[in-house]
Amino acid sequence: MCGICGKLQFDPEATVEPELLDRMMAVISHRGPDSHGTYLAGPVGLGHRRLSIVDLSDSGSQPMCNEDGTVWIVFNGEIYNYQELRKQLIQRGHVFRSTTDTEVIIHLYEERGTNCLQQLRGMFAFAIWDKPRQRLFLARDRVGIKPLYYCQQPGAFWFASELKSILVDPAVPRAIDLSAIRRFLSFYYPAGQDTLFGLVKKLLPGHYISIERDKVSIVRYWDLHFTKDRWTKSFEEAVEELQTLLGSTVRDHMIADVPVGILLSGGTDSSAVLSFAVQGTKKKIKTFTVGFEGGQVVDERPYARQAARQFGTEHYEISISAEDFWKFLPSYVWHMEEPVCEPPAVALYYISKLAREHVKVLLSGEGGDEAFAGYPNYPNMLRLGLVGAAVGPLARPLGAMGAIAGKLLAEPRLQRYGAALGNSFSDHYFSRTSGPTFYFNRQAQTLFTAEFLEDSASADSAAFVAEMAAKVKDEPLLNRMLYLDTKTWLPDDLLIKADKMTMANSLELRVPLLDHQVLEFAASLPPNFKVQGGRTKRILKAAFAKVLPEEILRRKKAGFPVPYASWLRNEFSKGIEDILLSGLATSRGYFKRSEVTRLLHANSRDGNYSKEVFSLLVLELWHQRFVDLTRPDSDVQSVSGLLPAYDPVNNDR
């Protein structure tokens, strides 16, 4: 796991300054504290920060080149089938100077060009400079486990593992995209390719960029396809096939020349990963879990301890207080780089910090819910679909009645599912991602200033969802839900959180349940193999029925349940008011101060607006960290000289 960055000048006579690459690498040094290197050749410059995982010798250093120095690469990630590919390439005459997966990509690219991506199994973001073709080739893994940002301007192209590395260059325009802010407030995370800095983009999962001279093309090389009505085997045969597939996948994810541990929540997914991990090594595995002081949420530690005892791990725990959470928030925004309403990410940071004292690689059960349908809204929506089909034309008026009842009873869940009855799939999905109260969408005219509404009018979040839903319009309802979650919520919220919080502690996180072969296997299954009645993750739980304790298999999903809602209403209430009602915050012109005050008071009263309040908080902290640069925290001080100050008068820089 590493950090990569670089710049390409479109003028072949131009050069990239070594000092710029040094600054770009410095701001992401946490991604690779072990070593660093650069490649500079006329119009191109590549930078790399290394976290040594495989082949710890200097032969594994990057940037790395082929035998004659004509192809160079900077790479972030892991290729799990690299040993098999390496043997094939050696048989075809390629000469290797290291035992790394990085060098495999180079030689595979020499043979297959951009088609090399089809043979790579793993998580990755990389950039290859092909000197003879004068081509810069960048790619991101199929699911979006590893991030890759870029900025294209008439004279140059920048890329990096983290947005802040690109912003180091004063030549990068830094205009804020108000439509992106509006979309963030719709989804509670920045969805799709846009960032809040409008001209800096995210390369979408399963895509690559090819640049030859000044011609830039972006190509999708992979998508998730469902194979409905093609599965002919029995449920029992599918269970056996899944057990075999997960066993080999977890073993591949255990490959490392450094200690490996397991992030253990005590749920089915992480416990399943652990059950295979202990089979693949003779070493005692270390496991890690987190809890919270105060007892306002479900404590996952007893379940994690139970799994740790069963599989004989060396188990570690950490407890987080409200004070820990509050103090970390400015740094949370700094590392996440964009406002994301994901309080469990703070817990992930602290548990990663603990784990880094003992291991350099962690495996987690992330992705099991998206692959095998683990969220409770899946069976809820399936039931709703049956009701809608049964009542036919009466669905929409009945839905309206349910929504009104939910509003009168102050019951967000009844309001949500009632309103969904009779709506299109994309309309319901959009409202679901907008939170239980739909606050930022329904209260837009009240909350936002007229100027902000006008300037952000191009933010059509519902159209974004509808466009994606159209790709799977002929699929069964469950497959449509899984597709959208895999394409939006998973990469833009969960995986960004997983990458940024672990790499903040120089720790590599691997997610075997999101191996693309596992995802494709899950997509080939009939929907009732995943959800049946109210049962979620049916096949995954069946695969481990004889391995995991019944208490773990049957417990309700929790997933780092952080008591932030209580903290927002109590311990943090005064601090939040000071931040959100300050002259600095209100001067941005996004929200009416009176309505923000009303929202804070409403949340203090009943706690129904925790996501909304937390979203406004991280949005304001994001402005302070990336726009104002006023925070006195040490990590900002260390980079404040690297990031050009934002000029509110001339905000195109």
Residues with catalytic roles: 2
378, 373, 262, 163: CA torsion to nearest 10: -80
Contact 448, 439 (CB under 8 A): no
Distance CA 498, CA 477 (A): 28
Tokens of 407: 């509003």
Distance CA 278, CA 281 (A): 6
How distant, in Å, are the alpha carbons of 63, 254, 486 from that of 263?
A: 31, 13, 21
Q: Which three-class secondary structure state does DSSP give residue 637?
A: helix
Which of 255, 19, 24 lies closest to 127 in space, CA to CA? 24
The 10 Å CB-count burial string (b at 16+, else e) for 599-611 is bbebbbeeebbbb
Three-state helix/strand/coil letters over 132-148: CCCEEEEEECCCCCCCC
465, containing H or E segment:
helix 461-469
Tokens of 36: 């660093």
- Using DSSP bridges, classify how beta strands 361-363 and 200-202 pair: parallel, antiparallel or unpaired: unpaired
Distance CA 411, CA 344 (A): 24
296, 302, 303, 309: CA torsion to nearest 10: 160
